[in-house]
Amino acid sequence: MSVPDSIEVDGLTRVFNEKVRAVDGVSFRVRRGEMYGFLGPNGAGKTTTVSMLTAGLRPTSGTASIDGIDVVREPERIKRHIGIVFQESSADNDLSGRENLELAAGLFRVPRSETRGRIETLLERMQLAEAADRRVKTYSGGMRRRLELAVGIIHTPPVLFLDEPTLGLDPQGRAGFWQYVQQLRRDEGTTVFVTTHYLEEADQLCDRIAIIDHGKIVAAGTPSELKDRVGGDVITVTGSADAPDLTPALGGLPGVASVQRQDRMYRIKCANGEAAVPAVVQAFVAAGVPMASVALKRPTLDEAFLEYTGRAFREDEGGDATQWAVRVRQFQDRRRR
């Protein structure tokens, strides 16, 4: 028998201000003990999805349940059943690390007899024992995040939500954070739902990934499935602005599967990239089009993202998606007022 599903989401939709479809008919299943990643640019709908799954925001339509508990009908039970690490820092600056944990233990009604032992274990495990009695305002970014993780799992939740947990951390802090999450999964079998816009993290850590863009899941699968679906290697050539279109010529070359052109950039998919590079370069030279750069890429999630959303992942951060994020935030703010 297969592993039962922990998170079940069907047609989940959230519309802000009757206009902005921040999350638009999202459906997926997360198996028990699995680490499931939501990958997408800022404003794609990741945090809105997490808010709905953690009973912080009512869905406009659709259903979601966690281990059989409906997120709309039983918000109290959901809150007891899950742990959350928010995107923004949420530790209390004026309290010590230990006091933050004691507060959380009180709010989750951790039995008093177990509270002290559990706090000590968590402080030890997160390497915060030495700093436990210092105020959080003196903590580094990595320490804060580890404390917030400890606060999130004080009640040993079977399901853990991590919303952009490593945003703003240095590589060392990120590596450290994930090490604790992985340890938690090994020790407790915790189901983890994580949103991120770090492709490498999703690639290395998640069992399965959904790529979300403009509120919709555009692709889902294991990281290798997603990469394989892109198909083979990709040669990227940057030509010059006002040169003739070389798409037909490139498409006719042996071994080339497809050619996409975006302004002066060509993406040439082929089964064996190394073998195809000389012919591609030759085609540019023959047409007299100067080349600014030639790159050969093995399939990465970056490529997968480009394939499914039609936009490069990194360039998205400053462009269209940020505008979208700003619009969604504005509507959210207006609603709250």
Partner 1 sequence: MIREFSALARRELLRIGRNPQAIFTSLLIPILYLLLFGQGFDFSRLGGSSAPVPAGALSQALLGAPDYFSYFSVGMVAFVAVTATLFTGANVIFDKLFGILKRTIATPAPAAAIFGSRLVAGALQPVLLALFVLGLSIAIGQGTGLKGLHPTAFTGAVGVIEIVVAIVLIATMFTSLFLALGFVLEQPQTYFALVNALNLPVLFTSDALYPWGTMPDWLRTVASYNPVTLAVNTMRENLFPSGAYAQPAIVYLAGLAVWAAFMMTVATLLARRALSPRK
For residue 236, give every residue at least 6 positions away whose Cβ sits within 8 Å of its Cβ, in sequence order, or none.
Answer: 265, 266, 267, 268, 293, 294, 295, 296, 297
In a 10 Å sphere around its CB, with 0-12 CB exposed, 13-18 middle and 19+ buried, how is residue 240 labelled?
A: exposed
Binding region for partner 1 (CB under 8 A) out of 23-31, 78-86, 289-297, 315-323: 78-86
Give residues with Cβ within 8 angstroms of 25, minimum separation 6.
11, 12, 13, 62, 216
| Residue 168 found at the interface with partner 1 (CB under 8 A) | no
**Mask: binding to partner 1, 189-208, rule CB under 8 A, as x and -?**
--------------------
Q: Which of 73, 109, 229, 314 binds partner 1 (CB under 8 A)?
A: 109
Q: Which of residues 296-335 bind partner 1 (CB under 8 A)?
A: 333, 335
Applying CB under 8 A, among 35, 57, 122, 169 the residue interacting with partner 1 is 57
Instruction: Give, in order, the Cα–Cα distances in Å from 120 to each of 93, 148, 284, 307.
Output: 20, 15, 65, 47
Size of the site for partner 1 (CB under 8 A): 34
CB of 71 to partner 1, least distance (A): 9
Among 68, 88, 225, 290, binds partner 1 (CB under 8 A): 88
Rounded to the nearest whole angstrom, what is the least distance from the CB of residue 174 to partner 1 in the complex? 20
By beta-carbon proximity to partner 1, the closer residue of 314 and 335 is 335
For residues 181 and 205, what is the distance between their CA atoms, to the nearest angstrom? 10
Answer yes or no: are the C-beta atoms of 160 and 191 closer than 8 Å: yes
∠ CA 320-325-331, rounded to 5°: 130
- Using CB under 8 A, pick the residue from 104, 126, 199, 211 that binds partner 1: 104
| Cα 179 versus chain centre, distance | 17
The angle at the Cα of 334, spanning 329 to 337, to the nearest 5 degrees, equals: 130
The secondary structure element, H or E, covering residue 197 is none
CA 3 to chain centre: 23
Binding segment (CB under 8 A) for partner 1, from list 39-47, 55-63, 189-197, 205-213? 55-63
Closest distance to partner 1 from the beta carbon of 317 (Å): 22
Stretch in the footprint of partner 1 (CB under 8 A) among 87-95, 229-237, 288-296, 298-306: 87-95
Residues engaged in binding partner 1 (CB under 8 A): 51, 54-58, 75-76, 79-80, 84, 86, 88-90, 92-95, 99, 102-109, 135, 151, 333, 335-337
